[in-house]
Amino acid sequence: MNKTSFEQRARELVAKMTVDEKISQMMNDAPAIERLNIPAYNWWNEGLHGVGRAGVATVFPQAIGMAATWNVPLIHKVAVVISDEARAKHHEFVRNNVYKIYTGLTFWSPNINIFRDPRWGRGQETYGEDPHLTARLGVAFIRGLQGDDSVYLKTVATPKHYAVHSGPENVRASFDVSPTRRDLWETYLPAFEASIVEADAVSIMAAYNRLDGDPCCASPLLLQEILRDQWGFDGFVVSDCGAVTNVYKHHRVVPTAPEAAALAVNAGCDLECGSTYQSLAEAVANGLIDVATLDQSLIRLFTARYQLGLFDPPENVPYAQLPFSLNDSPEHRALALQTAQESIVLLKNAATTLPLSKDVHRIAVIGPNADDPEVLLGNYNGTPSHSVTPLAGIRAKLPAAQVDYARGCGVFTNDRSGFAEAVALAKQAEVVIFVGGLSQALEGEEGQQEGLPEGLVTQGDRTRLDLPDIQEELLHALHETGKPIILVLLNGSAVAVNWANDHLPAIVEAWYPGEEGGTAIADVLFGDYNPGGRLPVTFYKSVADLPPFEDYRMQGRTYRYFTGEPLYPFGYGLSYTTFAYSNLVVSAAKPTADETVQVAVDVTNVGQRAGDEVVQVYLSANRSGYPLRQLVAFERIHLLPNETRSLTFALPPTVFHRIQDDGTPVLEGGGFIIETGAIGAKISQKINVERP
């Protein structure tokens, strides 16, 4: 059986439905149609970094942490595990006649928006600020979710939010975005194109905002001209939740619900998360939309349900055989630990402060994130059967040592009552480990309560980049004790830890690391794991370094266009060993317009420890209209001491293209610089691309 036969079955089924029945199936909570043996189905499920909001599941690091691994095969393995658990949980729900939200097989993940500004509260859900890194990880994740069976889909992946969406959160329901054509095609669309053209994503979610005046969920440019005509997409489009309602209530491009619903479906939005599509009956009666257009959307939706095997005997669907015991298995927890380990970025390590000796007798673990299991999880998360906080991980690592703990302060409140206890413990310790950073209270989605105490709602977007004042003040007090302080950050976006960088000997970035975060952090701190994570975002020194948050032009943003001095640059991360690069060879000094350029380089571990290096290849042109630097290839490798690996990267001709103001790609030709290398030891080679 192939997709054509599934589509034919969908076409025959839709033909039997009344208009009201058809409309009922175009909203996320689709009721059963008993006379046609169609069970109820809720299209809304989440799998951002583990099966979300459906009980116990393996919880991996938040997406921004997975991006920090720079490990494409690993992210594919993570997605395979997520889809394994998704299938196992779904069939258990069906066996118990449960068809509610978060029980289906259509997953509204991954979030492949570009994290263009660190103030955006939902940036934690993304793979960072670079289009190439985002595309490679997104493709791997989508393929892992959807499976590799020749007949059936394992799950449906839904890359989101299409397109040009990254805040501000508080006006997302009415905001109009107008990027340059070049920024649209070179920054905001490449990951979406890869998700459709390479990964064959079956679904895509349209964003809340408008793009050049048109709501994204009702944009002929996005949903027809680009998505279907140019990229060949043949799946279904779903709106973000409430986005169709926003078309008339907040964007106000039309005055009524029937007009908004008709506008969205006519543009190609097949499924609504919400209930405004209830007014489609009135839209049909008033001639705003015809039934044939509804049928087109219904056929797309039911084709996907047939591809998932939801209308076939379970014994015919290979994924239906996955046992429920896969969920939260020891093997999956081990992968969560590995992912957390690989996500950790060592930002500073003066005088080889780290790794710490396991012979230490007394340690003070201090800080608001040191023993909070909730902060490990980020948002859009599942529930781990048990989780390991940094404090628990450190105590397990050093069973013979005295490990004292004081919270000291909250993440951002002004209560200083715990300062005295924290300082007293620091004075008695040989070393202080301060675990701070951010939480869902400071960064998240508009209206988010997930990851927060009852009654508290996230601030959403951040207004500043600094560590919260209360934590900074406590760090100063601890520093005055004269004891060495290791700063461990848990957060989902860049933090301007300028004072800490100037005064503390070591800083570790651990993101929201998931259920095994504490174990991974302890492994890094005490040398059982050599950190190899790299930053997927730029760490700026101040919000003053950034253009206005509402400005979607890329000028002055991210490593590709930022002309200032970052605190820590994109792609940065230290190791407990040292790597050297040599023998950079480019296949052609003057490649032709259609020639793939091969880049070869040798990488050697010249230190004393085995470790991971992320080999990064950048392209620059040193002329107007081009990014300052552009990531074009990368690979994470493991090297033993004195081991050398020879790597070759293939750069397609498209990396030398520029997008013109009308959106068309043009090979301008001219000189380029190809660069790679270790921190502080870059090697490069010039080439001259011939114009066609």
Q: Does residue 270 contact residue 297 with C-beta atoms inside 8 Å?
A: yes
Domains of the chain: 330-561 (3.40.50.1700), 579-689 (2.60.40.10)
485-490 β-sheet, strand order:
345-349, 506-509, 485-490, 431-437, 362-366, 402-406
584: DSSP letter? E
In the prediction, which pLDDT does 206 show?
98
How many other CB atoms are found less than 10 A from the CB of residue 96? Answer: 9
What's the pLDDT at 527?
98
Give Cα 255 distance to the centre of its chain.
35
Q: Which residues partner with 156 through β-bridges?
A: 106
**Distance separating alpha carbons of residues 473 and 462, to the nearest angstrom:** 20
- How much is the pLDDT for 664? 82
What does 225-256 look like in DSSP terms, one character per residue? IIIIIIT---SEEEEPTTHHHHHHHTS-SSSS
Considering only CA atoms, give the Rg of the chain. Answer: 26
As beta bridge partners, residue 345 has 509
User: What is the rounded distance in angstroms from the CA atom of residue 351 to the CA atom of residue 586?
Assistant: 37
Q: What's the angle, vertex CA 501, arms to CA 499 and CA 503, rounded to 5?
A: 65
Give me the pLDDT at residue 665, please.
85
What are the distances in angstroms from CA 533 to CA 315, 524, 654?
42, 11, 28
470 φ, ψ (degrees, to nearest 5): -65, -35
Contact at 8 Å (CB) between 402 and 361?
yes
Beta carbons of 118 and 537 less than 8 angstroms apart:
yes
Phi, psi for residue 679 in degrees, rounded to 5: -60, 125
Q: What is the DSSP letter of 123?
A: G
Beta-sheet strands, E only, within 367-430: 402-406
H or E element in which residue 612 lies: strand 611-620
Structure confidence at residue 490 (pLDDT): 99
Whether 89 and 535 have beta carbons less than 8 Å apart is answered as no
* H/E stretch holding 330: helix 330-343
Interatomic CA distance for residues 447 and 423, integer angstroms = 36
CA distances from 343 to 68, 512, 513, 529, 566 (A): 5, 10, 8, 11, 21
Q: Tokens 């991360």, residue?
A: 573
Helix or strand or coil: residue 422? helix
Cis peptide preceding 520, ω within 30 of 0: no
Within 13 A of 633's CA, how many CA atoms are on the CB side? Answer: 20
CA–CA gap between residue 192 and residue 181 (Å, rounded): 16
pLDDT digits (tens, 9 = 90+) for 459-486: 999 999 999 999 999 999 999 999 999 9
Grouped pLDDT means (10 residues each) for the chain, 692 residues: 88 98 98 98 98 98 99 99 98 96 98 98 98 99 98 98 98 97 96 98 98 98 97 98 98 98 98 98 98 98 98 96 97 99 98 97 98 98 98 98 98 97 98 98 97 93 98 98 98 98 98 99 98 98 98 97 98 98 96 93 98 98 89 98 98 90 80 95 94 74
Residue 4: per-residue pLDDT: 87
Check residue 560 and give its pLDDT.
98
Residues 415, 419, 420, 425, Cα dihedral to 10° = 140
User: Can you tell me the distance from the alpha carbon of 439 to that of 451, in angstroms, rounded to the nearest whole number?
Assistant: 8
Instruction: Give, for 292, the enclosing helix (H) or strand (E).
Output: helix 291-307
Counts of helices then strands in the chain (DSSP H, E): 19, 24
Tokens of 570: 């994109």
Beta bridge partners of 466: 496
Crossing angle of helices 72-95 and 330-343, in 10° steps, is 140
- Retrieve residue 3's tokens: 């997709």
The pLDDT score that the predictor gives to residue 137 is 99
Nearest-5° Cα angle at 324, 322 to 329: 100
* Half-sphere CA count of 3, side-chain side, radius 13 A: 11
Q: What region does 367 belong to: left with phi over 0, alpha with psi -120 to 50, or beta?
A: left
d(CA 382, CA 250) in angstroms, rounded, equals 32
Identify the DSSP state of 351: G
Closest C-alpha among 129, 136, 134 to residue 569: 129
- Tell me whether residue 198 is exposed, middle or buried, using C-beta atoms within 10 angstroms of its C-beta: 0 to 12, 13 to 18, 19 or more: middle
Residues whose CB falls within 8 Å of the CB of residue 283, separated by 6 or more in sequence, listed in order:
258, 259, 261, 262, 289
Instruction: Please calculate the CA angle 192-194-195 and round it to the nearest 5 degrees.
Output: 65
Catalytic residue IDs: 240, 443
Bridge pairing between strands 176-177 and 431-437 = unpaired
Report d(CA 59, CA 383) in Å as an integer: 7
What gap in Å lies between CA 388 and CA 397, rounded to an integer? 12
